[in-house]
Copies of this chain bind each other. A is one copy, B any other.
Amino acid sequence: MAKKAKTAITPIRSENYPEWYQQVIRAADLAELSPVRGCMVIKPWGYSIWENMQRVLDKMFKDTGHKNAYFPLFIPMSFMEKEAQHVEGFAKECAVVTHHRLEMGSDGKLKPAGPLEEPLVVRPTSETIIGEMFAKWVQSYRDLPLLINQWANVVRWELRTRMFLRTTEFLWQEGHTAHSTAEEALEETRLMLDVYADFAENYMAMPVIKGEKTESERFPGAERTYCIEAMMQDRKALQAGTSHFLGQNFAKASGITFLDQNGKESFAWTTSWGVSTRLIGALIMSHSDDNGLVLPPRLAPSHVVILPVIHDESLKDQIVAYCQSLAEELKSFAYYGRAIEVEVDLREGRGGQKMWEWIKKGVPVRVEIGKRELEEQTVFVGRRDKEHRDRQTLSRKEFVETLANTLDEIQQTIFERARKFREQHMASIDAKQDFYDFFTPQNKETPEIHGGFVLAHWNGSAEVEEIIKNDLAVTIRCIPFTEEAEEGKCIITGERSKQRVVFAKAY
């Protein structure tokens, strides 16, 4: 066995992937568990990633004609009943408000008091309450399309939670739109999926497969659910965003009708689409390594960290001044619509330890400034996409002038790395035994890391999905959008299939 290299994260991915994930979050100080079951606290470094995601997505939504609004946190319980599949999908995970006061009991303990006439559900999603408002706002075809987005917190009472990936409360955006025709609503559903894919690939540096969910994986109440699916480093799939064509189901449940150009009353066609703080989990698992978080520059809270290296106290002031003037110079440049963000780390403490903190936090570019850099007007630069020892000296001028380019290189490098990883672990399989072998751990030391994405044929039945789910815990992640559908035979039944679908284990 080769000597193990020292890493900043213990355990490393190949030793215990789920624990590695928790340790990356901890080492980067992104979030931690709260005293409230299943709820986490998002700490400043983690929240700042979310703010950057919000800023980019919000602009994309506005550029495609959507406007933000805000709807109540609470939904009257009776609203949940309006759409039969919807209530079935969410009833098991609803936090319910039943009282509106606390009273001190005779035992000196607080008790809920003031029972509500009708209990209120903390929104798990807002189709029903927003539908109610849309029904008031939409009267005529002139009011359509209605294109609304909401940034909000939602609550789904999950039994098993995991930081960012599945938490009782999470932050998200939910788009809700109403249209006069099915075609236009479908176009919107697809457009917003494209927006999500664009964001995932070009900002998160995370390659995704676009496709449609099978009926069994659809959003409760939707007629079609489109999704983007990404491969994590344990080769599992993570659903990173969904866009739903709701047909007229919710329009009928809420009474969203309009008079068309001929004065005829019709139900509107609606859509909804959302991404959440789960994307931060996806980001972590797409790029991070055994030394911690790796951030795509376009979403990193800070692009550059500058560390003064002071061995001779008499040079301290000059070195710090050099660091600060460099920081100011960098901040005057912009990268992807945002001023370059720079941290100058003036904290006390050992330089090596501080350096490793920034590596674990995933900052794309690290700059060390000591006596030599001061004298020669240079910088000593490390990149998070390279080995931490692989650093180089550049003239200050060259560093500044090429920084935007360097950030772009890092962005491209980690995207390409993730794309190649996915390619390596994606297979077209036609024989059932091969399929079963693919999804069975071969290496007992790393049981969590195995499998990948399989492109295989499927007869279109929920029964086959059920068999595969029971046997292997594998599901159809999506029926990929493809121009070149290739016919074949179902991997289980041998029945005819129109195209390959994507199978994987999933988060």
Interface residues of A (CB under 8 A from B): 32, 34-36, 39-44, 47-48, 50-51, 67-81, 87, 91-104, 109-110, 112, 114, 119-122, 129, 132-133, 136, 142, 148, 152-153, 155, 157, 169, 171, 348
Asked if residues B42 and A70 are in contact (CB atoms below 8 Å), the reply is yes
Q: Is B102 in contact with A94, judged by CB distance below 8 angstroms?
A: yes
- 4 other contacts beyond A40-B72, A93-B101, A95-B97, with CB at 8 A cut-off? A41-B71, A48-B67, A50-B70, A80-B110
Select from chain B the residue with minimum beta-carbon distance to A74: B36
Q: Is the CB of A93 within 8 A of B99?
A: no
State whether B73 touches A169 (Cβ < 8 A).
yes
B residues near A112, Cβ cutoff 8 Å = 77, 96, 98, 119
Question: Does A41 lie within 8 Å of B68, measured CB to CB?
Answer: no
The 8 Å CB contact of A69, one of B35, B47, B72, B103, is B47
| Chain B residues with CB below 8 A from A75, complex form | 36
Q: How far is the CA of A122 from the CA of B98 in the complex (A)?
A: 11
Cβ-defined contact, A100 with B157, below 8 A: yes
Q: Which of B48, B78, B92 contacts A68 (CB 8 A)?
A: B48
Q: Contact: A68 with B44, CB < 8 Å?
A: yes
A selection of 10 A-B contacts at a CB cut-off of 8 Å is A36-B75, A36-B120, A36-B129, A41-B70, A50-B70, A73-B153, A78-B110, A92-B102, A95-B100, A96-B112
A94 touches B98 (CB 8 A): no
Residue of B47, B76, B122, B136 near A122 (CB, 8 A) is B122
Q: When the two chains form their complex, are residues A98 and B100 in contact, meaning their CB atoms are under 8 A apart?
A: no
- Are B71's CB and A34's CB within 8 A? yes
Cβ contact within 8 Å between A94 and B100: yes
Q: Is the CB of A110 within 8 A of B81?
A: yes
Q: Which residues of B contact A91 (CB under 8 A)?
A: 101-104, 110
Complex alpha-carbon distance, A74 and B156, angstroms = 13
Does A120 lie within 8 Å of B132, measured CB to CB?
Answer: no
Whether B102 and A80, one on each chain, are in contact in the complex, defined by CB atoms closer than 8 angstroms, is: yes
Are the C-beta atoms of A92 and B97 separated by less than 8 Å?
Answer: no
**Cα distance A413–B456 when bound, in Å?**
69
Q: Contact: A72 with B120, CB < 8 Å?
A: no
Shortest distance in angstroms between A79's beta carbon and chain B's nearest beta carbon?
Answer: 8
A332 nearest CB across to chain B (Å): 16
**A102 to B, closest residue via Cβ:** B91
Which residues of B are found within 8 Å of A92, using beta-carbon distances? 101-102
Q: Is B129 a contact of A76 with CB atoms below 8 Å?
A: no
What distance in Å separates the Cβ of A137 from its nearest Cβ neighbour in chain B? 9
Complex: chain B residue closest to A152, CB-CB: B153
